[in-house]
Amino acid sequence: MTTPSMNTVLEAVEMRVLPPDPAVMAAIGLSHTLNTAVADLIDNSLDATANRIVVRFMLRKGRPSSLLIIDNGFGMSEQAIDAAMTVGRRHHYDGSSLGHYGMGLKAASFSQAESLTVIARDQFDKTHHTAGRRWSRQGVQNFECEVLESSQCAEQLDLALESVDSKFGTMVRWDNVRTFPSGTNEDVVNEYLSRTVDSLRFHLGFVMHRLIKKRNMQISIDVYDADTGTAGAPRIVDAVDPFAYRRSGDGRYPMRFSVEVGPAAITATAHLWPARSQALEFRLDEDPVQRQGFYFYRNDRLLEAGGWKNIFTNGRRTQLARVELDIDTLPEVFDMNMEKSSVQPRPEFGHAVERAVSESGVSFSNYLNESEAVFRTGNVRSRKREAVVRPGSGFSPAVKRAIEEEYEDSAPRPPVQVRWKSISTGEFFEVDRAEQTLWLNERYRKILSTGRRSGMNDAPLLKASLYLLMEEVFRGSAFGSKAKDNVEIWQAILTDAAEDELARSSS
């Protein structure tokens, strides 16, 4: 007789097969958002070697009704499209594939829409046959898929493929998208579309940033009115590279660390952003404190952006530290979720990071200390700055923001405006202290505001320079002889310089 123990290995006496209830289909892909779901379909387009992809919000009777993803990839045959629609059908993935689970198309689509249609034409089919399938969320639970009439599919596909300039490719269409607004109120629809397109554009540009650059591919998003058959202007998705600082926060970075997990190793490239960066690539879509940490890529697709995976905490002072990791170089240590929006490293990874040392002998915790140091030095001012008059109308938002960041305190005077008017004396500017306005001579406007966007806030560089030169004149109540003399000097020199600009532009 053995004594009962919790350590006893239990014996199996029989084997039973327990097939899943089809209702399980209703649960897949639930943690997708519209952004991650669309990204999952774009992964498929990229695996099909597409380099032009259009994401199209389709309006019917003034209301967003469907979403289309159109690509110029190699398309699908009748056989391939059946495999594509099959839940969990995995095929042989080559080393650079973004696909992995055989689930993405179905899971992403039903997480957002009630109905999924896929229409494709195989690049290599000389007969130009078009294959179409449709699945409703209901149908997928019985695993029943509709085969669509080929010539009708061909018509629709041809219309769609115009946007990617191709004769073959694939169109995925979602109908009855659950998150689309249900009303037709124009303001609500417009507000929804502008917010959604902006957010999607950012997300795709972010997670695909390496691929957009490397494969020279173009993703664009447009809004298509199905009643009139017209598409609005496409918004191109620009790459958003979270490591695109102009100058590193510390000359010794980026620095490569070898993270040794058992007998294998993965390279972690540690970066330090400069302090107080206002670049979109640093600020991204939220608090940069939350965007410090690991950036996991798989085959150049960004899966997860930021966070230290419980190895360190997201401290405010370590917010400049971002580490790039290509998990495909060591796939056995990392699991990614089905939605391809997060990565789970094995526990050994944490220990390996703590032990990691760079080629130059810097440890990972040194790196974090150094990131704190860069943050601290970048955020202390060597001395207290003066209180200045705020920039008012006429300055572009970017200039205003830059000035506000540098000068924290405001002088007790109304903001200074900068505006154009014709000045009969021919002088370059006029200081109007009663109106707190710096007038610039309209005569020079055309040559000095050269950017494409004109209007009130034109010539940002010129106006910022003048602000730095003249702000003090608008600050005090007194206008002393020294200040008057300065204004005379500036007037003489700037007027001659402006005349020189005019002469050069006409010669």
Ligand X SMILES: Nc1ncnc2c1ncn2[C@@H]1O[C@H](COP(=O)(O)OP(=O)(O)OP(=O)(O)O)[C@@H](O)[C@H]1O
Which residues bind to ligand X, rule: CB under 6 A?
A: 43-45, 48, 71, 73, 76, 84, 91, 99-106, 170
**Interacting partner of 111 out of ligand X, Mg ion, none (Cβ under 5 to 8 A depending on kind):** none
Binding at 320: pick from Mg ion, ligand X, none (beta carbon under 5-8 Å per type): none
The two structure tokens encoding residue 240: 């958003």
Q: Which is nearer to ligand X, 42 or 389 (CB)?
A: 42
Stretch that binds Mg ion, among 37-45, 114-122, 201-209, 470-478 (CB under 5 A): 37-45
Nearer to ligand X, 77 or 363 (CB): 77
What whole-number distance in Å separates Cα of residue 389 and Cα of residue 391?
A: 7
Greatest extent of the chain over all pairs of C-alpha atoms, in Å: 114
Nearer to ligand X, 100 or 137 (CB): 100
Find the part of the chain contacting Mg ion (CB under 5 A) among 23-31, 96-104, 195-203, 447-455.
96-104
Give residues 368-407 in contact with Mg ion (rule: CB under 5 A): none
Q: What length is written for the chain? A: 507
Look at residue 407 and give the partner it binds from ligand X, Mg ion, none, a contact being a CB closer than 5 to 8 Å depending on partner kind: none
DSSP secondary structure letters along 117-179: EEEEE-TT-TT--EEEEEEEHHHHHTT--EEPPHHHHHHHHHHHHGGGT-SSEEEEEEEEETT
From the list 73-81, 102-110, 461-469, 498-506, the region that binds Mg ion by CB under 5 A is 102-110
| Single residue of 104, 205, 293, 345 touching Mg ion by CB under 5 A | 104
Whose Cβ is closer to Mg ion: residue 340's or residue 463's? 340
DSSP assignment of 308-341, as one string? Answer: -TTSS---GGGTTEEEEEEGGGSGGGEEE-TTSS
**How far is the CA of 206 from the CAs of 25, 203, 456, in angstroms?**
30, 5, 32
Residue nearest to Mg ion (CB): 104
Partner that binds at residue 370, options ligand X, Mg ion, none, CB closer than 5 to 8 Å by kind: none
CB of 32 to ligand X, least distance (A): 12
CB nearer to ligand X: pick between 43 and 250: 43
Instruction: Report whether 175 contacts 117 (CB < 8 A).
Output: yes
Alpha-carbon gap, residue 127 to 208, rounded angstroms: 34
324 binds, among Mg ion, ligand X, none (CB under 5 to 8 A by kind): none
Q: Please count the other Cβ atoms lying within 10 Å of the Cβ belonging to residue 334.
A: 21
Among 29, 99, 205, 460, binds Mg ion (CB under 5 A): 99
Closer residue to ligand X (CB): 44 or 417: 44
Span of 14-22, 56-64, 94-102, 433-441 interacting with Mg ion by CB under 5 A: 94-102
Q: How far is the CB of 100 from ligand X (least distance, A)?
A: 4
CB atoms within 10 A of CB 500: 10
In the complex, least distance from residue 267 CB atom to ligand X, rounded to whole angstroms: 25
DSSP designation for 197:
H
Nearest-approach distance from CB 229 to ligand X, in angstroms: 24
419 binds, options ligand X, Mg ion, none, Cβ within 5 to 8 A by partner type: none
Compute the least distance from the CB of residue 101 to Mg ion, in Å. Answer: 7
**Binding at 100: pick from Mg ion, ligand X, none (beta carbon under 5-8 Å per type):** ligand X
Asked if 96 and 135 count as a contact pair (C-beta separation under 8 A), the reply is no
The answer to whether the CB of 222 falls within 8 A of the CB of 163 is yes
Kindly tell me the sign of the dihedral angle through the C-alpha atoms of 30, 74, 236, 272. Answer: positive
Tokens 């060597």, located at residue: 382
Reported as type and span, the H/E element at residue 207 is helix 186-207
The residue among 222 and 241 lying less far from ligand X, judged by its C-beta, is 222
Contact pattern from residue 40 through residue 69 relative to Mg ion, giving x for each residue in contact according to CB under 5 A and a dash for the rest: ----x-------------------------
Q: At what angle do helices 460-470 and 481-506 cross, to 10 degrees?
A: 160
Q: Which of 147, 139, 158 is nearest to 75 (CA)?
A: 158
What are the tokens at 370? 């150094």
* SS3 at position 81: helix
Residue 48, contacted partner among ligand X, Mg ion, none, CB below 5-8 A by kind: ligand X
- List residues near Mg ion by CB under 5 A: 44, 99, 104
